[in-house]
Amino acid sequence: MEIGQVVKVVRLRDPLSSFVTSKKLGKVGTITDFKITDGMGVGAVVKFDDNSATWFFEDELEVVQ
């Protein structure tokens, strides 16, 4: 995955995700940045059409062709 790619949120690792994150399931957005999540993992920061942004693990996202 790369900055600028369009992705779709296809799953959530944590079924008890925050309300904001859970509302993004199935939504499409653009990767704007990456962040270290826990010292071992990398998360992608995704910005959506409503100008909100949140991060997801890469396996929660699917690149939109």
Report the side by side order of strands in the sheet with 28-36.
53-57, 42-48, 28-36, 6-9, 61-63
* Per-residue pLDDT band at 18 (split at 50, 70, 90): confident
pTM for this entry: 0.86
Determine the Cα–Cα distance for residues 26 and 9; give it in Å rounded to an integer: 5
pLDDT at position 38, please? 73
Domain extent listing, the chain: 6-63
* Per-residue pLDDT band at 15 (split at 50, 70, 90): low
The string of pLDDT tens digits covering residues 38-53 is: 777 889 999 999 999 9
* Per-residue pLDDT band at 16 (split at 50, 70, 90): low
Fold held by 6-63: SH3 type barrels. (2.30.30)
Q: What is the mean pLDDT of residues 12-31?
A: 83
